[in-house]
Chains A and B, each alone.
Chain A
Amino acid sequence: GQSLEQPSEVTAVEGAIVQINCTYQTSGFYGLSWYQQHDGGAPTFLSYNALDGLEETGRFSSFLSRSDSYGYLLLQELQMKDSASYFCAVSKGRRALTFGSGTRLQVQP
Chain B
Amino acid sequence: GAVVSQHPSWVICKSGTSVKIECRSLDFQATTMFWYRQFPKQSLMLMATSNEGSKATYEQGVEKDKFLINHASLTLSTLTVTSAHPEDSSFYICSASDRVGDTQYFGPGTRLTVL
Contact = CB atoms under 8 A, between A and B. Distances in A.
Given A41-B109, A42-B93, A42-B109, A95 B43 contact: no
Contacts of B43: 87, 99-102
Interface string A50-82: 100000000000000000000000000000000
A24 interface: no
Interface stretch (B63-71, B73-81, B98-106): B98-106
Contacts of B105: 45
A43 B106 contact: yes
Interface in A1-50: 30-31, 35, 41-45, 48, 50
A84 to B, nearest CB: 13
Interface residues of B, number: 18
A13 B30 CA distance: 40
Interface string B77-103: 000000000000000010001000011
User: How many of chain A's residues touch chain B, expressed as a range?
Assistant: 20 to 34
A31 B108 CA distance: 24
A96 B46 contact: yes
B104 A97 contact: yes
Given A31-B102, A45-B103, A97 B34 contact: yes
A102 B104 CA distance: 18
B45 to A, nearest CB: 8
A48 B32 CA distance: 19
A97 B46 contact: yes
Interface of A: 30-31, 35, 41-45, 48, 50, 87, 91, 94-102
